Structure 1
Amino acid sequence: MSGKPDMDLLPTPPMGERYNGVPERLSKEAAAVRTRLYGNRTLPKSKPRSRPARLPPGVSEDVFAASIEELRRSIGTENVVVNDQPLQDGWYLESPNTHDAFHVIEQEELVCSAVVYPGSTEEVQIVVKWANKHLMPIYPISIGRNVGYGGAAPRIPGGVVIDLGQRMHSVVNLDGENASCIVEPGVTYFALYEEIQKRGLPLWIHCPDLGGGSVLGNAIDRGVGYTPAGDHFANHCGMEIVLPNGELLRTGMGALPGKDGRDNSTWQSFQNAYGPKIDGIFSQSNFGIVTKMGFWLLHDMPHQSYCITFERDKDFAQIVDTIKPLAQKGILGNIPQLRHIIQELNVTGQRKSTFHTGSGPMTREKIRQAAKGLPLGDCSWIFYGTQYGDSASIERQLDIIKKAFSSIPGNRFWLPKDVPEDHYLHSRVQVCSGVPILRELDWLNWLPNAAHLFFSPIAPTRGKDAQAIHEIVTAGHKKYGFDLFPTLCIAGREIHYIANVIFDRADAEQKKRAVALLRELIHDCAKEGFGQYRTHLLFQDQVARTYSWNDQALLRVNESIKDALDPNGILAPGRCGIWPKRFRGKGWELGVEDVDMKAIAPKL
């Protein structure tokens, strides 16, 4: 399909008008990013539906309409919206809550039947009890910007999306003395950062590459950031959760009532309670709806970002082996990134056609030629790091780091002052000091109608293991005709190898190749012992079943917990590959063979 870009859209709402809008400091950048993306788009803003609106499986139109009216009477007519309008993909800051904006299958396949907007924990409980009464599959989202992993789409077409963010976006508590906060699902990294600045507190948040996502949502999906406290779930402290039967739970010290009925004053100070620690079962699961979550923050501190470039592809394993002891000994200040030079091309925001006119992936020689015109020049790998502490300790740390990398021929050390103001290194300065930004959106201009899938395996921090994954991923991208954009987040003992598969969502054949690539990579990496830490919702069944030790013992335990907590199977069936008894084994699970996705919605 082709058409003229829609450039007559209203400006992106600022944060003062909309909870998930753009901060004033980034308004011009947001407008520029949006103009570039829409200027590289051939898809129309929306198109008429080709089929009737999706309903939950086994629910007739009359029953659905009656149950929707019942819910409207409970929480307000305006807070329950039937999804019968044309679907709009929008863009990152105006993403849909009805489907996956980065649809790798047909846009109308994974769509909800309705969207519900609760305004409090109590209203979430009402919605959950309603879902149990009518056996409605419900899918909670915080913001719906989990792009690359499925966005706001329900795993069961016709499920009801619970949009927690639109009316639940308060910073419930911000404690400067304790360096902690409590947030609701709709609080974005932008919003938390701006609130801290407004109060003049010398505190940092721990943001990922993009700042428009939910602080709470990213943590329970075990996302990462780049400050010294960048493991978001590890730095949470206390949760409030609506269970699948509508009951309310608090974890950690929140389970102990505070004085005179107040919240316990140690709820955001100590992560544990008494007895088993259960917080983890509510991350990457469908065991409850988290409505409040506490986080520890960092105090502002001096820092120095830098990058090191390496000339040769063949030094990859040695680079990883050099990073390992530096990370294990705590010399590296944060979780650094190792990125391939092709990432320097696409993060400029320029189109692939600027560098390459062919239809296939860029060759290594083409990448080299294009890189010669960039500030870092023709190189292979770029290491982005940040050190923290006083100036003397930072200088000592950098001396150790430079000496360690000196054994790799041709490496060059760069500070922010050595590169132009628009270079990516300046963006790392901000992210690594807790300032949320938009810069990572620029690579979406690589292709027309660009969307992406993340492939995210974990490996030990060993050069030979990193090389093994890299070779599998490289071969797969070559086979299916995609440019390879690898980023490695390297800790002392493990590596997140993140490959970003960019595709044109207007091209059905290209989308099918992207699915085939992911299916094969998941299978091939798992054979070598490299499992995914996170994946798109259409691949969650396959990934969950790769963790198959002792006849799927892990999955069987998860299913047992699911059946105990959610006997009616209403809460996010299929999320993270966990299906309740009501749907399990009835054709919903997708495996390595499901490239055409014909089994996505079997008839019950």
Structure 2
Amino acid sequence: MSLSLLTNHLRYICSPTSTKQLSAVLKAANKFKIPLWHFLRGKNLGYGGPAPRVNGSVALDLHKLDKIIEVNDEYHYAVVEPGVTFIQLYEYCVEHKKKVWPSTPSLGWGSVIGNTVDRGMGFGMNYAHHQCVAGMEVMLPDGDVIRTGQWGISSSPSAFLSKFTFGPSLEGLFFQSNLGVVTKMSLWLTPQPQAYMCCSFSMPLFGDLEVMVDVFGEMKRNGTVQSCVWFTSLIETLCIMGRREDYWTGEGPDGRLDATTVPDQDGQMFVGIPSLWSLPLINWSIPKEKKGGKAAHGDYAPVIPSSGKLLMEWMEVSKPICEANGVELMADFFMHERHVVLMNMFTWDQTDKAQKANMEKLYYGLYEEAKKRGYGMYRGHVNHMDLIANLNDFNNHAYNRFVEKIKDALDPNGILGPGKQGIWPNRFRHLRETQEKKFD
């Protein structure tokens, strides 16, 4: 186990190489009441990376737990540790000639488990990763270890095949939470097909979005289309292919972009080949000749019913908010059977104070519009977790109170990820009150 001090940030980093070492870290943290902020590969681009919410936290880096335990191409699943990336899983499948296609997000450098527990998405048949988990192993804040579902039975042949369990299902407690550290996870993979066809459509008018959403929504619900349906925008495509100044150097958002300037996209991620395909989009707002610029990106990601009318309404509402803050509407979304996860993305130069202030106004502008419509968020930056959690307002925030009761029972010393997803242990709950005042 390595323990080092980064003097420029005054943060300790602890990197266990085994679950035994991880258990020792948790027990020591409990003994001395040291807050830990655990992360897997630390990428989490656009959501705060590995940054903790409480100053003085020890960064618990799990990337050295990186074993691929099994890839089964009879039942089509993988079992991995937290440090395994999508690229590593894909390369393992190729090297061992496994007849499976792992789903991968557009950036393949991240942790398979990290993406899944944050309810991340990829492409292909099993694109909703958190819905493809049958069994997981979790270390609780006191160092105890549990296995969920059929994996709780020693030598169960259905450990990674069935989500059924006798009694309450526990997997959901560890998605987007700080109630435990996932140390092993199974993930269902797509059987290698005999043939593959990628279908893409483009719409000449922005208003065509409404009818396309309704058509594909019904096809998802009736099972005609079982794989990922992904809508992307011209602006996002341009961001990946170049920088803003390649197309437009005027003030404000570009109003004259032409789809004929866009080259064909590489679709490798649709067949499970991970890459860093979309990473260049963060440089969109940085002039090529500028020295000292630092690219950043973020998003506002509401969960919206799969209705063409409501999707169009959101686009029409969010477009002027984006443009008022100097950026183009850049949005894509993933269609599920009955809902859509939409990404309003934006990029800026972190060294430009005016751009930074505009992005903050943009974010809160989208938040207010989402709040009016009762739209929750799919995921959130560490700076906005309390804001988003506060949307659960039913019965005086009963959901949040319930989760915090579980948190206090499992983690009475409040050591593991205090504040993650707006879940504060009793010891640090006063910090949430400070955050909420800031958002009033």
On whether the aligned pair clears a TM of 0.5, the verdict is yes
**Hey, what does 1:243 align to over in structure 2?**
140
Give 1:220 deviation, angstroms. Answer: 0.4
The correspondence for 1:559, drawn from 401, 404, 417, is 404
Confirm or deny that 1:500 pairs with 2:345.
Answer: yes
Question: 1:440 & 1:190 partners in 2: Cα distance?
Answer: 15
Give 1:527 deviation, angstroms. Answer: 1.5
**Hey, what does 1:322 align to over in structure 2?**
215
Q: What code does the residue aligned with 2:6 have?
A: N
**Hey, what does 1:303 align to over in structure 2?**
196
Partners of 1:519 and 1:539 within 8 A in 2: no
Give 1:472 deviation, angstroms. Answer: 2.5
Provide closer, same or farther for how the CA distance between residues 266 and 210 of structure 1 changes in structure 2, counting only shifts above 3 A. same
Moved more, 564-573 or 314-323: 314-323
Mark the structure with the bigger radius of gyration. Answer: 1
Deviations 1:155-178 (A, max 9, x none): 11221111101x211101222323
Q: What code does the residue aligned with 1:367 have?
A: L
**Hey, what does 1:230 align to over in structure 2?**
127
The correspondence for 1:123, drawn from 2, 16, 21, is 21
Q: What code does the residue aligned with 1:346 have?
A: C
Provide closer, same or farther for how the CA distance between residues 332 and 150 of structure 1 changes in structure 2, counting only shifts above 3 A. same
Using the size of structure 1 for normalisation, the TM-score is 0.69
The correspondence for 2:69, drawn from 150, 169, 172, is 172
Question: 1:291 & 1:594 partners in 2: Cα distance?
Answer: 35
**Hey, what does 2:290 align to over in structure 1?**
none
The correspondence for 1:373, drawn from 235, 245, 261, is 261
Give 1:477 deviation, angstroms. Answer: 0.8
**SS of the residue aligned with 2:332?**
strand
**Hey, what does 1:294 align to over in structure 2?**
186
Question: 1:589 & 1:545 partners in 2: Cα distance?
Answer: 13
Using the size of structure 2 for normalisation, the TM-score is 0.94
Partners of 1:204 and 1:297 within 8 A in 2: yes
Partners of 2:283 and 2:347 within 8 A in 1: no
Partners of 1:112 and 1:153 within 8 A in 2: no
Provide closer, same or farther for how the CA distance between residues 325 and 435 of structure 1 changes in structure 2, counting only shifts above 3 A. same
Confirm or deny that 1:278 pairs with 2:116.
Answer: no
The correspondence for 2:3, drawn from 80, 93, 98, is 80
Q: What code does the residue aligned with 1:224 have?
A: M
Mind listing any 5+ residue stretches in structure 2 that lack a counterpart? 287-293
Question: 2:88 & 2:60 partners in 1: Cα distance?
Answer: 21
The correspondence for 1:200, drawn from 75, 97, 102, is 97
Question: 2:24 & 2:438 partners in 1: Cα distance?
Answer: 40
Confirm or deny that 1:114 pairs with 2:12.
Answer: yes
Q: What code does the residue aligned with 1:239 have?
A: M
**Hey, what does 2:113 align to over in structure 1?**
216
Partners of 2:12 and 2:58 within 8 A in 1: yes
**SS of the residue aligned with 1:265?**
coil
- Identity, in percent, stands at 32
Confirm or deny that 1:571 pairs with 2:416.
Answer: yes
Question: 1:540 & 1:521 partners in 2: Cα distance?
Answer: 15
**SS of the residue aligned with 1:304?**
coil
Question: 1:178 & 1:373 partners in 2: Cα distance?
Answer: 44
Provide closer, same or farther for how the CA distance between residues 517 and 590 of structure 1 changes in structure 2, counting only shifts above 3 A. farther
Q: CA RMSD of the aligned region, Å?
A: 1.7
Q: What code does the residue aligned with 1:374 have?
A: V
Provide closer, same or farther for how the CA distance between residues 561 and 112 of structure 1 changes in structure 2, counting only shifts above 3 A. farther
Question: 1:265 & 1:323 partners in 2: Cα distance?
Answer: 37
Q: What code does the residue aligned with 2:257 have?
A: I
Q: How does 1:154-553 map to 2 (within 5 A)?
A: 154-165=52-63, 167-258=64-155, 264-301=156-193, 302-348=195-241, 350-363=242-255, 366-368=256-258, 371-375=259-263, 423-424=264-265, 427-428=266-267, 430-448=268-286, 449-553=294-398
Which protein, 1 or 2, shows the higher relative CO under an 8 Å CA cutoff with sep ≥ 6?
Answer: 2
Give 1:217 deviation, angstroms. Answer: 0.6
Question: 1:287 & 1:333 partners in 2: Cα distance?
Answer: 33
**Hey, what does 1:137 align to over in structure 2?**
35
**SS of the residue aligned with 1:276?**
coil
Give 1:188 deviation, angstroms. Answer: 0.3
Partners of 2:126 and 2:190 within 8 A in 1: yes
Provide closer, same or farther for how the CA distance between residues 588 and 169 of structure 1 changes in structure 2, counting only shifts above 3 A. farther
